[in-house]
Structure 1
Amino acid sequence: MGTATSSITSKGQVTIPKALRQQLGLARGGRVSFQLVGDHIEVRSCKPEQPLPASGFGLLKSPRQPVPADFDPASFLTP
């Protein structure tokens, strides 16, 4: 891809064109760095220090004790 342009919002935000994001593998939540080089700005993708997990399973820890796999919630009902 050659040159692409984007407008600057009132908050100073710009949108990286989709084709460039795809080429660089940039996704939502990804990070980029900015560096002033002479009379222009270089934008570089920041690679995560650790690879992102394929799923979010196990990322959150609960302070509660785990529920046994054979737990029957109907046992709380009184006949």
Structure 2
Amino acid sequence: MPAATVNELGQVQIPQNLRQRLGIGQGSRVRFDLVDDHLEMRVEPTDGEAPAAGFGMLKSKRPAVPADLDPASLVQP
């Protein structure tokens, strides 16, 4: 495992490959647990998982369409 040096502010930099693997980005929250003689860091889950779904991420000038809209109901015989 890679090692890091603590700077004068008490901060360490998490290696890029570990940040990518764990999904840690700017604003991510982590929790520190002291277990016996070592420290464990865990990424806290975020409340807003909507960006992962992609819904609402694109701006459009079109009006919103309800999710339960049946396109067949718009076809006139």
What residue number does 2:29 align with? 31
Distance, in Å, in 2 between the alignment partners of 1:32 and 1:52 is 20
More helix by proportion, 1 or 2?
A: 2
Q: Which runs of 4+ in 1 moved over 3 A?
A: 52-55
What residue number does 2:68 align with? none
- Count matched residues: 55
Q: 2:44 aligns with which of 43, 46, 63?
A: 46
Distance, in Å, in 1 between the alignment partners of 2:50 and 2:4 is 29
Cα deviation code 1:27-49 (max 9, x no counterpart): 11111110000000000001112
Show structure 2 runs of 5+ residues with no match. 60-77
Q: Which amino acid aligns with 2:44?
A: C
Cα deviation code 1:1-52 (max 9, x no counterpart): xx11011011100111100000001111111110000000000001112225
Q: What TM-score results when the alignment is normalised by the length of structure 1?
A: 0.61
Show structure 1 runs of 5+ residues with no match. 58-79
Residue identity (%):
39
CA RMSD of aligned residues (A): 1.8
Q: What TM-score results when the alignment is normalised by the length of structure 2?
A: 0.63
- Which structure has the bigger radius of gyration? 1
Distance, in Å, in 1 between the alignment partners of 2:50 and 2:24 is 13
